[in-house]
Chain A
Amino acid sequence: MNPLRALSLTRRVQLALLVGALVAGMVLPHVVSSFILRLVTLALVSALFAMSVDLMAGYAGLVTIGQAGILGTAMYGVGYVASKTDGGIALQITVGFVAGMTAAVIFGLMAMRSSGVYFILITIAQGMIIWGLASLLVNITGAENGLPGIRRPVNIESGFRYYYATLVVVLICSLALFVVVRSPFGHALKGLRGSETRVRMLGHNSAFLKFYMFLVSGFFATVAGILLVYLNEFVNPTDVILGASALPVLMAILGGIGTLIGPFIGAFVIVFLRNWVSLRVDRWQTLMGLTFILVVLFAREGLVGAVSAWWHKRIDGRDGGVSSVLHEPEKREAVLSESG
């Protein structure tokens, strides 16, 4: 008996697409130019970064616009050791990891008691302050000149090998995230999105839950930062500007927020769109802003939601698809245990 037959048609198509994407990912470096391969590598790293944002924005319903602060701190950690000391790769990665996670801990402690708009404003301020420090602490960050002299590990130095290394890391992280969002912790996060009061009634401490969310999401942002700094072999304050924090949010919404595949698709679309536009006109920021506005106004469920709705209508005749996580109206909740 073929085990595939036990699956629904939808599942089988999804499985086929996944296998197809994996095979494409494996053979890609042999087919495309090194320039395109670099873009694909960047898209993979961006996808991981966007997934870390989506864990907060899409699953817990807490939109962060400061995640580049964590990514960037990890990048600066690696860059500082590589550029200012004679530490080896192991030390570089360790310092980068510790730096990124420290930022995640501090961000988490600051934001864990807030929600809604306040959460957004706090994360913006956090990201911007990392940018301010990056631009002002000349001795550590090199300010606008950034930190040069970062080199990839010798055995994965070529763009070809670095692509495969990135692919493996991103796949492992995606798998880990897949497990996380299906774990009790992931369900508790989704509970936060629905009703924070209810999560508290069920015995969770919602502040701690948000703190852990920062740790988990920060872990993946840190890994993305380490991958990115070796991909670019450079870091400067443009890696931590507000736009760098807003971009993964845009990727997640464009692809389909509250799904793991959405950020992936969004990342590829944005990275290639940005490259295509930047080669022609110097107005990428305008286009990014317009995309933001249009996606928020019209493409609420993202690309994944649109495709999924079309598919279900055709195959099952039901009005399925992903409901928009972002556009759920804010619920007015009775405050149960807030005291001054």
Chain B
Amino acid sequence: MEHSAERVVDTVKADRRRVLIITALVAIPLIAWTLTQMSLLSFGTQILNGLSFGAVLFFLASGFTMIFGLLRIANLAHGGFYLMGGYVGITTTLVTGQFWLGLIAGGLAIMVLGVFAERVLLRRIRGLVKPEVLLTIGLTFVIGDLSLAMWGGDPRTVPLPGYLKGPIQIGDSFFYPKYRVFVLGLAIVLAAILFYIDRRTKIGAIVRAGVDDRETVAALGININAVFTIAFMFGAFIAGMSGVIGAGFLALLPGQDFEILLFALVVVIIGGLGSLEGAVLGAAVVGLIDSFAKALVPELSFFTLFAPMAIILMIRPNGLLGKAP
């Protein structure tokens, strides 16, 4: 059958691209190392910095890409979700003294906001792609400005519990912040959970079917609107939580909503919209590029992000692991 032959060709191509991204993951640090002859210790530090920043980006991009895959909404308010979730988490942690409560409060607050956005605002223009994007931009302005009114313009960080403070010792002379290692671990756990849900559970099967053909899923008697809302809730929850997690080592300040959104966008543009795997690989690539660029050419650190994105877009307009529109 012609159709399945195309499928095979697609799979082979996707495999080739996967190899390409993983090669990039190995090549970026190696090239940076040969270029600068940095010591092994600072080289290791840069890799961990890149991967832990990539972990925060993955939290954000995974929700973004899932909402896009299922609802076909590019939710640009994700950056605003991150910022406000972080602020809520900081305040909760300060009041209760519990970091974990802050983490959950940040996620829950944004989940409520997300449900409001999905059920009250976005549902009115369901399926109208451009208005949906513009609406989420408007929402980001409101969220960002109200956050500024409530939490002020000074950089804020979340107070960490004692067991996450300070450095961790690896070997004799290598010290690295415990918290960043914790974030990296958390991202691996989340990725594992998401992959498990996606590949092995019924809800994952429904979501994957919904990505391919939502009309058929609805015709099979599944309440697709409820699935949409749950997906949006979940994506918003992770985004709010990622703000609290990020606030542990990246200070929150006004304007960061758009800055972190840009990084998340580059992750999904490189990885491909709607692809969970693309989000994992894209986040690692972007985190590493950012980390080494900041260490080597701090003034050009945005440009180093721009160049690979430009090249990928010219060759593959839908990202490396994205599906054809």
Contacts and interface: CB of A to CB of B under 8 A. Distances in A.
Interface of A: 61, 63, 65, 106, 109-111, 113-118, 120-122, 124-125, 128-129, 132-133, 136-138, 241-243, 246, 249, 253, 283-286, 288-293, 296-297, 300, 326-330, 335, 338, 340
Nearest to A114: B317
A243 B298 CA distance: 25
A242 B136 CA distance: 13
B15 to A, nearest CB: 12
B112 to A, nearest CB: 18
Given A243-B141, A289-B137, 12 more contacts: A65-B137, A110-B313, A113-B317, A132-B302, A133-B302, A246-B141, A283-B145, A284-B145, A286-B146, A289-B138, A293-B135, A297-B125
Nearest to B310: A110
Given A114-B313, A125-B269, A289 B141 contact: yes
B2 interface: no
B86 to A, nearest CB: 18
A151 B98 CA distance: 56
Given A114-B317, A117-B273, A249 B134 contact: yes
Contact of B141 (A125, A285, A300, A327): A285
Contacts of B76: 124
Contacts of B128: 326-330
Residue of B258, B266, B324, B325 with highest tally of chain A CB at under 10 A: B325
A63 to B, nearest CB: 5
B305 A129 contact: yes
A328 B269 CA distance: 25
Contacts of B141: 243, 246, 285-286, 288-289, 292
Nearest to B141: A289
A129 B74 contact: no
A128 B266 CA distance: 11
Name B's interface SS.
helix
Interface string B241-276: 000000000000001001101100110110001000
Given A117-B273, A241-B258, A296-B134, A289 B302 contact: no
A128 B262 contact: yes
B125 A286 contact: no
B138 A291 contact: yes
14 contacts: A63-B134, A114-B317, A117-B72, A117-B129, A121-B268, A283-B149, A285-B145, A289-B145, A292-B135, A293-B135, A327-B128, A335-B325, A340-B13, A340-B316
A121 B139 CA distance: 16
Contacts of A297: 121, 124-125, 131, 135
Given A113-B314, A289-B141, A340-B13, A327 B131 contact: yes
Nearest to B9: A340
B235 interface: no
A285 B124 contact: no
Interface string B282-322: 00000000000000001111110110011001101110000
B155 to A, nearest CB: 15
Interface in B102-129: 121, 124-125, 127-129
B318 A326 contact: no
Contact of A121 (B13, B125, B265): B265
Contacts of A288: 138, 141
B258 A111 contact: no
Given A129-B305, A136-B301, A289-B140, A120 B125 contact: no
A128 B76 CA distance: 13
Contacts of B3: none
A124 B143 CA distance: 18
**Chain B: number of interface residues, binned into ranges:** 35 or more
Contact of A136 (B145, B268, B298): B298
Contacts of A61: 130
Contacts of A284: 145
A137 B138 CA distance: 29
B203 interface: no
A262 to B, nearest CB: 15
Nearest to A62: B130
Contact of A125 (B68, B265, B324): B265
Given A242-B258, A290-B138, A121 B302 contact: no
A109 B312 CA distance: 12
B142 interface: yes
A285 B144 contact: yes
A118 B325 contact: yes
Nearest to A137: B299
B273 to A, nearest CB: 7
The 3 residue pairs across chains A and B that have the minimum distance between CB atoms? A292-B138, A132-B302, A289-B141
B133 interface: yes
Contacts of A128: 258-259, 262
Contacts of A338: 324
A293 B314 CA distance: 33
Contacts of B262: 124-125, 128-129, 132
Given A285-B144, A289-B140, A133 B303 contact: yes
A122 B269 contact: yes
Nearest to A298: B124
Contact of B266 (A114, A125, A133, A300): A125
B139 A293 contact: yes
B142 A335 contact: no
A180 B287 CA distance: 44
Nearest to A111: B313
A305 B266 CA distance: 36
Contacts of A286: 141-142, 145-146, 149
A289 B139 contact: yes
A289 B136 CA distance: 9
Contacts of B298: 136
A293 B134 CA distance: 8
Contacts of A63: 130, 133-134
A120 B302 contact: no
Contacts of A290: 138, 142
A120 B74 contact: yes
